[in-house]
Amino acid sequence: MPSVEQEIRQFIVDNFLFGEVERSPSNDDSLIEQGIVDSTGVVELVAFLESKYGIEIHGNELIPANLDSLNKLLDFVARKTATST
């Protein structure tokens, strides 16, 4: 069973890097500064997270502190899934 990190990384590679695994960012790379995710990409990423992990992401949570790197995404999903149970 893949980890949350593997699932999110695979989503990023498949949807934003078009399968180019070698371009996969490190866990701390800024997805926005690296040009991997733009404003439309944030919407796609949020839809994926909500669907995959059964969480609801509110407008005030759409900030770089939650969504701008793999580590930030992992922390955010962990917090959201912990509070949704």
- Domains of the chain with bracketed CATH: 4-83 (1.10.1200.10)
Q: Which residue has the tokens 């500064």?
A: 33
Give the global pTM.
0.92
Residue owning tokens 């790379």:
29
| Mean pLDDT in residue range 15-25 | 93
Cα–Cα distance between 50 and 35 in angstroms, integer? 23
User: Is the torsion defined by CA of 41, 77, 25, 21 positive or negative?
Assistant: negative
- The C-alpha atoms of residue 18 and residue 83 are separated, in whole angstroms, by 33
The predicted pLDDT at position 84 comes to 65
3-state secondary structure of 85: coil
pLDDT digit string, tens, across residues 55-74: 999 999 999 999 999 999 99
Model pLDDT, residue 62: 96
How large is the average pLDDT for residues 11-28?
94
